[in-house]
């Protein structure tokens, strides 16, 4: 019984095989039916993205390393609109603790991505505060008498700061009547647009590059002022360190004879 069934199956298969085209048989016999193994590809370097664009390839490098560049991710050379609640959160953070801001009115707030840089000032005292996702730093200064800046001019003070190896610099100061915009030119050619309001201006950037000149916009047009060499880079590996220098843009602006200005550190957290 088994031998007869086997013979009938063989005959049926032989008849079916005879009807299969020769080309199909050749194609099937050329296939490698051995078990396949996947070779794991080595991981790509973090931050390297490639996208095909027509016949070419475009490589985009994104820095995700720890350090200064990552600490200030989101910074832009021009101010950006604040996100909902950003200004209120920054103000609460700046005014907390033993802050030199106490009692000083807010003059301006510069927002760049998730960072808020605020200036608080009276006639003879001022304080700055930068507040970001991972830190808040406050510093202040006092003058022996009110500082008068002529119309169309600015009084520029530059600062270089390091926090645990992440360096940033900023420039702030008084703006005379009629000054509607200030753009700082750094020694690497970068343009950084300042925020101007209520007789003050401020701009900052995540590096120790110094300011070489400032373009000042007034109703009369745009004038360029050379800025003397800034301070040396901040001290090596110290957790926090600040150096600063001051200069007058446009001639005779600045503190009058006999005036002194004192700067003092504030709260870092």
Residues 135-183 have pLDDT tens digits of 888 888 888 788 888 999 998 888 888 766 788 999 999 999 999 999 9
Report the C-alpha dihedral over residues 92, 97, 100, 102, rounded to 10 degrees: 60
Indicate if the alpha-carbon torsion angle 92, 132, 129, 166 is positive or negative: positive
* 29-43, 96-110, 213-227: least confident range: 29-43
On whether the CB atoms of residues 81 and 95 are closer than 8 A, the answer is: no
Closest C-alpha among 152, 154, 151 to residue 226: 154
Residue spans of the domains in the chain: they are 68-248
Q: Tokens 């019984």 — which residue?
A: 1
Closest C-alpha among 66, 72, 64 to residue 48: 64
Helix, strand, coil % (nearest 5) of the chain? 15, 40, 45
Task: Quote the CA–CA distance of 37 and 207 in Å, as a whole number.
Answer: 49
Which residues does residue 195 pair with via DSSP β-bridges, in sequence order? 202
| Prediction pTM value | 0.64
Tokens of 30: 């050329």
Report the C-alpha dihedral over residues 26, 28, 31, 35, rounded to 10 degrees: -150
Q: Torsions phi, psi of 199, nearest 5? A: 80, 15
On whether the CB atoms of residues 201 and 154 are closer than 8 A, the answer is: yes
pLDDT value, residue 161: 84
Strands (E), the chain: 48-53, 56-61, 106-112, 115-121, 125-131, 136-143, 154-163, 166-175, 181-186, 191-193, 195-197, 200-205, 211-218, 221-226, 240-249, 261-268
Residues 216-232 have pLDDT tens digits of 999 999 999 888 765 54
Closest C-alpha among 255, 191, 246, 187 to residue 222: 191
Residues 34-73 have pLDDT tens digits of 555 444 333 333 222 222 333 332 222 222 223 345 788 8
Q: Which of 38-52, 101-115, 230-244 reaches the highest mean pLDDT?
A: 101-115
On whether the CB atoms of residues 108 and 120 are closer than 8 A, the answer is: no
On whether the CB atoms of residues 54 and 85 are closer than 8 A, the answer is: no
Strands of the sheet with 181-186, listed across from one edge: 191-193, 181-186, 211-218, 221-226
pLDDT value, residue 144: 79
Q: What is the mean pLDDT of the chain?
A: 72
Q: For residues 89 and 96, which has the higher predicted lDDT (pLDDT)?
A: 89
Q: What percent of the chain has pLDDT over 70?
A: 60
């Amino acid at each position: 019984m088994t031998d007869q069934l086997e013979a009938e199956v063989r005959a049926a298969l032989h008849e079916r095989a005879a009807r299969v085209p020769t080309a199909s048989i050749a194609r099937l016999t050329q296939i490698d039916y051995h078990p396949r193994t996947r070779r794991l590809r080595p991981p790509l370097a973090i931050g390297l993205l490639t996208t095909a664009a027509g016949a070419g390839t475009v490589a985009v490098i994104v820095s995700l390393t720890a350090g200064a560049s990552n600490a200030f991710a989101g910074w832009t050379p021009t101010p950006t609109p604040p996100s909902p609640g950003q200004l209120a959160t920054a103000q609460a953070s700046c005014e907390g603790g033993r802050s030199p801001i106490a009692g000083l009115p807010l003059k301006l707030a510069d927002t760049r991505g998730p960072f808020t840089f605020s200036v608080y000032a009276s006639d003879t005292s001022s304080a700055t505060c930068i507040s970001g996702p991972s830190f808040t730093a406050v510093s202040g200064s006092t003058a022996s008498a009110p500082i008068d800046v002529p119309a169309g001019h600015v009084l520029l003070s530059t600062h270089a700061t390091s926090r645990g190896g992440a360096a940033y610099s900023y420039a702030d100061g008084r703006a005379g009547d009629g000054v509607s915009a200030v753009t700082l030119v750094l020694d690497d050619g970068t343009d950084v647009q300042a925020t101007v309001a209520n007789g003050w201006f401020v701009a900052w950037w995540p590096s120790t590059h110094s300011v070489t000149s400032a373009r000042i916009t007034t109703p009369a047009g745009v004038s360029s002022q050379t800025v003397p060499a800034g301070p040396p880079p901040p001290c090596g590996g110290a957790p926090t360190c600040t150096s600063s220098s001051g200069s007058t843009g446009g001639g005779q602006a600045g503190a009058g004879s006999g005036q002194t200005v004192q700067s003092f550190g504030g709260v870092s957290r």
